[in-house]
């Protein structure tokens, strides 16, 4: 069963309380002031990439669309707000009828981004847009961080597949989102069955050390697994003595043994020894899978090793040291009245400490060099230059409150592969550096 396109909530009947209290108190004050219905434009962007990252990866867009559709204030939610006296009755009445009716544009999922990129643009009344801030940022900040880590790991792995196996290292629902983001970023499979059920991601898994320890002899464990799962299974060979385990594994399964997994020790050295031993035993087609707290640097260090696949957990689901993407959701333009025809006025935060923002409703395009490689991220207001018209990055996601861009998960996965391939080669370097292309700003009229 593939539920990827159903738009169902993961664990709750409503996403309305996935928000901060001040979103609702702002709404209450705006309703009282008569400014709640002013046409507004909010944008999601990041001022900087995590230290050392050369590009970001947009992930979580599909989950954002689900969250917007399920942002409903049902009687139970309204009762909670009333009991806590968070808002007044007038606001509760407004919330009871809440349905987002505006437009959302954004970078398509799987696309890369850079500092200042308008990753998502939310347009509608101030009241309906401001309520979505927290849930949108919660999803995009988490999923994009995981996808960026996954992308770096996929670059380091080259053609060797990556297995996502971080469910036991994070919150149970975050694990499902992380598996999804990892798949967008280049991972091939997941061990998490909930992610397989909800998003159709291929799932894998055979046994852990506990299964070997359960049996009186390692041979007995291998025999039971092979008799149950077939000769093509993967046998875990580092519970006791690796060399002895590999010998036993081939004796039990024969040269048709699918793979062995190594989860400890000096992986580079052990992998070479295991490959030599497998070949000498006639198991030349048996693959070697390595796990053991890998990150992109460890994967890169194993590039010369006879490894066929990598399993990654902790470092992936924690963003390999950067668990958030530092995205913000800022009001960049608003009308000066509730008149639907009132023109938009650019607005921006002006403060010290590196938290300034650029006002105006923005477009974005990626300028390419003569070889079709990206050379700049161009962000602007007003008319789009003719030479960039066919390179625009934002696409419609929601029109008039209706989702128009839901897609199977394989689409953003393939999109990311293409987007990364169009970046300068230095984008795949793991050494610390600045964003691989600069962001240029073109200022014009903000438009209405």
Q: What is the CATH number of the domain that holds 82?
A: 3.20.140.10
Question: In the listed set 286, 321, 356, which residue is the last one of a domain according to the structure?
Answer: 321
Q: Tell me: do 315 and 411 sit in the same domain.
A: no
CA-CA-CA-CA torsion sign (250, 251, 252, 255):
positive
Give residue 13's pLDDT.
Answer: 60
Let me know whether 203 and 312 are in one domain: yes
- State whether 353 and 244 are in the same domain: no
Q: Tell me, what's the pLDDT at 9?
A: 45
- In DSSP terms, which residues pair with 44 in a beta bridge? 120, 329
pLDDT tens-place string over residues 47-56? 999 988 999 9
Q: Provide CB contacts within 8 A for 258, sequence distance 6+.
A: 230, 231, 232, 233, 234, 286, 287
366, β-bridge pairs: 377
- Alpha carbon separation from 429 to 223, 302, 424, 435, 436 (Å, rounded): 44, 15, 10, 11, 10
Domain co-membership, 228 together with 107: no
Per-residue pLDDT tens for 170-205?
999 999 999 999 999 999 999 999 999 999 999 999
Q: Judge whether 117 lies within some domain.
A: yes
Q: How many structural domains comprise the chain?
A: 2
Query: The domain that contains 309 carries what CATH number?
Result: 3.20.20.70
CB-CB contact of 53 with 155 (8 Å): no
Largest CA-CA distance found in the chain, in angstroms, rounded: 80
At residue 79, the 3 state secondary structure works out as: helix
Same domain, 245 and 376: no
pLDDT at 14: 84
Range from 42-46, 63-67, 346-350 carrying the lowest mean pLDDT: 346-350
Task: List pLDDT tens digits, range 228-276.
Answer: 999 999 999 999 999 999 999 999 999 999 999 999 999 999 999 999 9
Task: Check whether residue 167 and residue 307 sit in a common domain.
Answer: yes
Residue that terminates a domain, selected from 289, 321, 353: 321
pLDDT at 12: 52
User: Which among 321, 347, 371 is the end of a domain?
Assistant: 321
Q: Is residue 316 part of a domain?
A: yes
Both 309 and 358 in one domain: the answer is: no
Residue 2 has pLDDT above 50, yes or no: no
For residue 8, is pLDDT > 60?
A: no
Under DSSP, the state recorded for 57 is: E
Q: pLDDT for 110-128, tens place per residue? A: 999 999 999 999 999 999 9
Q: What is the dihedral of CA 47, 329, 140, 55, to 10 degrees?
A: -20
Same domain, residue pair 295 and 188: yes
Residues 114 and 212 in one domain: no
Give mean pLDDT, residues 7-26. 79
3-class SS at 235? strand
Same domain, 215 and 162: yes
Side-by-side strand order, sheet with 120-125: 344-346, 327-335, 39-46, 120-125, 103-106, 395-399, 402-403
Pairing status of strand 287-290 against strand 327-335: unpaired
Residue 354: domain span: 21-131+326-442
What is the chain's alpha carbon radius of gyration, rounded to the nearest angstrom?
25
pTM, entire model: 0.93
- Per residue in 412-446, pLDDT (tens digit) is 999 999 999 999 999 998 988 899 999 999 987 54
Cα separation, 389 vs 366, whole angstroms: 10
Confidence of residue 380 (pLDDT cuts 50, 70, 90): very high
């Amino acid at each position: 069963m593939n539920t990827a396109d159903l738009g169902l909530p993961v664990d709750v009947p409503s996403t309305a309380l996935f928000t901060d209290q001040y979103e609702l108190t702002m709404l209450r004050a705006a309703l009282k002031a008569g400014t709640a219905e002013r046409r507004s434009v909010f944008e999601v962007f990041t001022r900087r990439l995590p230290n050392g990252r050369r590009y970001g990866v947009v992930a979580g867009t599909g989950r954002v669309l689900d969250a917007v559709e399920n942002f409903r204030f049902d009687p139970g939610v309204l009762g909670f707000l009333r009991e806590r006296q968070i808002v007044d009755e007038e606001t509760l009445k407004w919330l009871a009828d809440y349905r987002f009716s505006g437009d959302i544009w954004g970078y398509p999922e799987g696309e890369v981004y850079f500092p200042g990129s308008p990753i998502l643009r939310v347009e509608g009344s101030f009241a309906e847009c401001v309520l979505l801030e927290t849930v949108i940022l919660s999803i995009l900040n988490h999923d994009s961080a995981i996808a960026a880590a996954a992308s770096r790991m996929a670059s380091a792995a080259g053609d060797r597949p990556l297995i996502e196996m971080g469910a036991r290292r994070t919150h149970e629902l975050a694990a499902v989102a992380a598996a999804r983001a990892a798949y967008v970023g280049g991972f091939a499979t997941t061990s998490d069955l909930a992610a397989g059920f909800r998003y159709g991601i291929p799932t894998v898994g055979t046994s852990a050390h506990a299964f070997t320890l359960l049996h009186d002899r390692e041979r007995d464990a291998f025999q039971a697994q092979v008799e149950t799962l077939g000769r093509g299974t993967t046998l875990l060979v580092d519970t006791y003595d690796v060399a002895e385990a590999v010998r036993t594994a081939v004796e039990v399964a024969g040269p048709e043994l699918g793979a062995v997994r190594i989860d400890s020790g000096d992986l580079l050295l052990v992998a070479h020894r295991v490959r030599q031993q497998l070949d000498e035993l006639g198991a030349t087609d048996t693959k070697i899978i390595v796990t053991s707290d890998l990150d992109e640097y460890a994967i890169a260090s194993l590039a010369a090793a006879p490894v066929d696949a990598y399993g990654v957990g902790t470092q992936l689901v924690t963003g390999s040291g950067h668990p958030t993407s530092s995205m913000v959701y800022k009001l960049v333009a608003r009308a000066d009245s509730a008149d639907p025809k009132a023109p938009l006025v650019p607005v921006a935060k002006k403060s010290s400490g590196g938290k300034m923002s650029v006002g105006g409703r923005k477009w974005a395009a990626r300028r390419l060099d003569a070889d079709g490689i990206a050379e700049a991220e161009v962000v602007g207001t007003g008319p789009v230059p003719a030479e960039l018209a066919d390179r625009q990055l934002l696409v419609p996601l929601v029109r008039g409150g209706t989702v128009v861009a839901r897609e199977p998960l394989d689409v953003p996965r393939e999109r990311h592969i293409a987007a990364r391939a169009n970046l300068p080669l230095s984008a795949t370097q793991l050494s610390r550096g600045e964003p691989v292309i600069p962001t240029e700003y073109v200022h014009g009229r903000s438009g209405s």
